[in-house]
Amino acid sequence: MMTENHFWHGKRICVTGGAGFLGSFVTEKLKARNAGHVFIPTIEEYDLVQPSSIRQLLDDSRPDIIIHLAAQVGGIGANLEHPAEFFYNNLMMGVQLMHEAWLRGIEKFVALGTICAYPKFTPVPFNEDDLWNGYPEETNAPYGLAKKMLLVQAQAYRQQYGFNSIFLMPVNLYGPRDNFHPDSSHVIPALIKKCIEAKESGAESIEVWGDGSPTREFLYVEDAAEGILLATEKYNQPEPVNLGSGMEISIKDLVELIARLTGFEGRLIWDASKPNGQPRRRLSVERAEREFGFKAQVDFEEGLRRTIDWYIAKQERTAVHDIEHT
């Protein structure tokens, strides 16, 4: 642990998106590693789509390292409804922030991409070298490609300017503090919420999008945060790196598992008219282990239990708060 603490000692770190789901775990781990100063910009104070806001942020935070986690994200529905916003906001945030970081001589820029950048029919497991062999799955393409441009920028700025920027691609994340809003949540929180509400209301069935055939890989949020910090400490190369767990589960099996863990015993009705998304997703995770010693630690079922427990506790806290203020 001494080397890690030594790396962060006295460093000023700016974590965009640091108040968000993944960011909150990254900032906790930074503090545990005795980072010198961790600056977390809020969306209310800094609109990172605007160049003037980015300059203000860097004036205020004076970072040695930027970890860029901020993104406008959502599930299939949100991507279908807001493709232009997802493209423009994610592109402008990242490209301008990296450029300004280079102008100011910032020591290191850690850009977070997305596996939505992979081609739709990438051979499984997704290997980083296959990233450019086709067009992404259409529903996620505007978001995925906007993020992918940060890889192009990072490599170009390294080549021309010697700027140290790395590009990491986490698989689908899950865990406590995730977004459970029905309009914008990803598959795991959406299913947990749906199963718990159906159980509580005594519903006989729940409806699920698609036919259950696609497979997905999931990475526990705390593992992802650890991977990001290990890469920041140890990885200084142009090649992109996957952050994943290496597991793969079908949506059908996932729904049945969440129903079991939440205690929902009703029927599952599949709406095959709704889009499935990408057919299969599983990452090759060897590069992260080889280059900076990252390996996911939290078992999937254990991670789901923690997430469900957190959500139930949060609902109970909200209910108590509502009673106290009526």
How would DSSP label each residue in 173-189?
EE-TT----TTT--HHH
CA distance 17 to 197: 29
pLDDT of residue 125: 96
Identify the segments of the chain with pLDDT beneath 70: 1-5, 325-326
118 is catalytic: no
pLDDT of residue 326: 65
Q: Taking the CA of residue 160 as centre, how many other CA atoms within 13 Å lie in the half-sphere pointing to its CB? A: 9
- Which residues have CB under 8 Å from 181's CB, separation 6+? none
DSSP 37: E
Tally the residues of the chain.
326
Average pLDDT, the chain: 94
- Which residues have CB under 8 Å from 126's CB, separation 6+? 115, 118, 242, 281, 282, 283, 284
Instruction: List residues bridging with 267 in a β-sheet.
Output: 205
How many CB atoms neighbour CB 78 within 10 A? 20
Position 8, amino acid: W
Residues 2-324, CATH architecture: 3-Layer(aba) Sandwich (3.40)
Q: Considering the entire predicted model, what is its pTM?
A: 0.93
Residue whose token pair is 């545990």 = 32
Each residue's pLDDT tens digit, 217-231: 999 999 999 999 999
- Of 118, 143, 157, 235, the catalytic one is 143
pLDDT of residue 3: 45
